[in-house]
Structure 1
């Protein structure tokens, strides 16, 4: 299963990665770069509904016994676990970016290999500015 990423998300994430110091380029950043390079890049208006992307609210179920997690995927400077905002560089985000609601992903998280089921994805539609 190949992730699908909006062109604007790809550019935003690559720009952030290119501006990181070598010390900031963690294993997860490397994995995210690999995932982005593998991903199918599509114009922003062609991203399939229910696909996890930057600023997506998502709900996932992890492992046995099932644990449900609700988060929002954000750029690193906006991450705040107290507000359920998780960095795109986190292991969970790296595993999920570009995958759709209903998909199941097997990924090595800090606690070991986990089966992650994407239960729900909500993306706010960005309205284009109309000038007269």
Structure 2
């Protein structure tokens, strides 16, 4: 598997660990995937996150395989709305996006069980990462 180095801000890291821990009994596979990503992340002060790094609330353009680029905003589950391009951190794509920077690539297993290779094309900082 391709696993690029990732950076997550302290605030997001804390909120996401609480979210994952709350899911352990209801959906252990999903919780473990998120915890795995959080555990391998470098945790940085929120103000020290490098520009172009996907954080909660970021709008991201990514490419998978030969498909055209897709543009989404990474959000907490309560704010998810696929029709508006707002994808939950608790989706395979959402978990894979967290902490990546422009140009980085990661592979992930989608809801359909197939493995995909995703490359980050651009990242716009979110105005507010809403909890």
Give the TM-score normalised by structure 1: 0.85
Q: What are structure 1's unaligned runs of at least 5 residues?
A: 127-132
- Tell me whether 1:118 sits opposite 2:117 in the alignment: no
**RMSD of aligned Cα (Å):** 1.6
Alignment: residue pair count: 124
SS of 2:87's equivalent? strand
Match of 2:36 in 1: 34
Within a 5 Å distance, the mapping from 1:1-132 to structure 2 comes to 1-20=4-23, 22-23=25-26, 25-64=27-66, 66-111=67-112, 112-124=114-126
CA contact (8 A) 2:24 2:31 kept: no
**1:29 & 1:92 partners in 2: Cα distance?**
14
Q: Could you say what secondary structure the match of 2:101 adopts?
A: coil
Residue pair 1:107, 1:113 contacting (<8 A) in 2 also: yes
The TM-score, its normalising length taken from structure 2, stands at 0.86
User: Runs of at least 4 residues of structure 1 off by over 4 A?
Assistant: none
The structural deviation recorded for 1:73 is 0.3
Higher relative contact order (CA 8 A, sep 6+): 2
Residue 93 (structure 1) shift: 1.2
26 and 67 in structure 1: CA distance in 2 versus 1, 3 angstrom threshold: farther
Larger Cα-atom Rg: 1
Native 8 Å contact 1:8 1:44 kept in 2: yes
